[in-house]
Structure 1
Amino acid sequence: MSSFNKVMIMGNITRDIELRYTPKGTAVTDLGVACNRRVKQGEEWVDETTFVDVTLWGRQAELASQYLGKGRGVFIEGRLQMDSWVDQQSGQKRQRLKVVGENMQFVGGGGAGGGGGQRPPQQGAPQQANQAPAQQSYQAPPQQQGGSPSNPMPQFEDEDDDIPF
């Protein structure tokens, strides 16, 4: 039987992001993501929060440290991974389940934090993390037939066409 290991989470960054580099020069960062869920307890609704540790590598780690900060929204796709280590002080074996991010998108507006550099070009719209942000300029579309400056959409004679749906 084959296995399937896929995780998708969307939430807010819980702490400022610290970018590190491995001895070979690969960027890595660890994030905390808080995912909320509303549940009804008795007669009232309450928020139930789950905190998830996420590790990002390479260009995604660099983009996260540049554009994300505490309070910002993020959507992450990845896989689960179990970390095991021996506690130096107690000598006990410890384990922690975390998400290794494979794809990241920025979500929502500014949030509370700012991250390191500029904001993404279009706040509020998701931005693929594997694409470098580019400065975009808006150019108005050319005037269509029957359009006006206040309504650039073309005017058609017969708008009651037979639409097949």
Structure 2
Amino acid sequence: MLNRVVLVGRLTRDPDLRYTPNGVAVANFTLAVNRPFSNQQGDREADFINCVVWRRPAENLANFMGKGSLVGVDGRIQTRNFEGQDGKRVYVTEIVADSVQFLESKGGSNQNQGGGGQGSAGQRPNPNQPPQPNYNDYNGPNDENPFKDNGEPIDISDDDLPF
């Protein structure tokens, strides 16, 4: 038997982090997952899937992700039921996440995509600290590309290839 679910979508709201009476963290969240096709009007529709994650991953999700964040969920489908306040039986189908992967930084969908900021998301530079060097801009004393093709054939045997 197999019960496995893999989803990639955006959080529709901030995760709802709670703790059981025994102190175990649990986070409920809803994931908006686009359908792979368009409707007759040419619009993309989405499914809104209820998910739950437990323990440390629940705390990490609540601390580092918010509404609109892109996440990947790996888990299983679970159905449960309970008696509602009106006395009727209520059935719930949800995804119990074994892991939640953060596919962008917190607020990444709302932030400027220009990349002009410094540091990680939500972090401002400290005026009391000297600026950190950006090693990506360092060209060194020799600006020549070490992988530049000089026009000569490469001498390599089939035994040297890893495949």
Give the TM-score normalised by structure 1.
0.68
Aligned to 1:82: 79
- Structure 1 residue aligned with 2:16: 18
Aligned ranges for residues 10-159 of structure 1 at < 5 Å?
10-42=8-40, 44-88=41-85, 90-108=86-104, 110-112=108-110, 119=121, 148-149=142-143, 151=145, 153-155=146-148, 158=152
| Unmatched tracts of structure 1, length 5 or more | 122-136
User: 1 CA distance for matches of 2:134 and 2:96?
Assistant: 37
1:104 positional shift: 1.3
Gaps of 5+ in 2: 112-119, 124-132
**Contact 1:75–1:107 (CA<8 Å) still a contact in 2?**
yes
Instruction: Give the equivalent residue in structure 2 for 1:8.
Output: 6
Measure how far apart 1:108 and its partner are: 3.6
Q: What is the alpha-carbon distance in structure 1 between the residues aligned to residue 63 and residue 45 of structure 2? A: 29
1:47-76 residue CA offsets vs partner (Å, 9 max, x unmatched):
111000010111110110111000010000
The 2-side partners of 1:28 and 1:159 are apart by 60
CA gap 1:60/1:150 in 2 versus in 1, 3 angstroms: farther
Q: Between Structure 1 and Structure 2, how many residues are aligned?
A: 138
SS of residue matched to 2:87: coil
CA distance in 1, matches of 2:144, 2:67: 41
Could you say what the CA RMSD is over the residues aligned between the two structures, in angstroms? 3.3
Q: Is the 8 A contact 1:78 1:99 kept in 2?
A: yes
Q: Which has the larger radius of gyration?
A: 2
Q: Deviations over 1:16-38 (max 9, x none)?
A: 12211111111110010000125
Task: Give the TM-score normalised by the residue count of structure 2.
Answer: 0.69
Q: Would the alpha carbon gap of residues 162 and 46 (structure 1) be closer, same or farther in structure 2, given more than 3 Å must change?
A: farther
Shift of 1:155: 4.6
Percent same amino acid among aligned pairs? 29
The structure-2 alpha-carbon separation of the partners of 1:13 and 1:41, relative to structure 1 and needing over 3 Å to count, comes to closer
